[in-house]
Amino acid sequence: MPGIRQWRIVTRVFTFIESSVFERLVPIYLDDDEYTELQQYLIQNPEAGQLVRGSGGVRKLRWVRPGMGKRGGLRVIYFVRYEPNELWMLSLYAKARQENIPGHLLKQLLEAFRNG
C-alpha cells in the first residue's frame, strides 16, 4: 500500500504600501513584470532583506535585474509589518548610483512614512 503524504500549503497575503519616493522611483528601475516578480519574492520571503542596524526594523534587499550584471543590481528598502500583513516599500536605488544609506536616516524615513 502506498504511503499517504499530506501537504500543507500556506498562502500569505500581504498588502504592499508604497511611499511617494518608492512610487516615483519604481518605474525608473523596474517594469510591471519585474515589479510583480519582486512582490512575489517578498510575499514568500518577507524577511529576505538584511536588517539595517539602527533603522528600527528597516530591511535592505539586494535585487538583481535580469541581464544587468553585478553593477545593475538594485537595493530595495522596505519594512515588514505583520499585524496586519503589510510590506512598506520605502525606497530603492541602483547599486552603481548610491552607497549604503545610514540606519538613522532609514529610521527617519520609516517614522515619516509611519506618521503619514
Q: What is the pLDDT of residues 51-70, one digit of tens each?
A: 988 888 999 999 987 666 65
pLDDT digits (tens, 9 = 90+) for 4-32: 555 555 567 888 989 988 999 999 999 99
- Domains of the chain with CATH codes: 15-114 (3.30.2310.20)
pLDDT at 83: 82
pTM listed for this prediction: 0.79
Does position 1 have pLDDT exceeding 60, yes or no? no
As a whole number, the mean pLDDT across the chain is 81
The three three-digit cell numbers of residue 53, written as one number:
542596524
Instruction: Please check the confidence at residue 90 and state whether its pLDDT lies above 60.
Output: yes
Contacts for 106 with CB less than 8 Å, ≥ 6 apart: 52, 54, 55, 56, 58, 77, 90
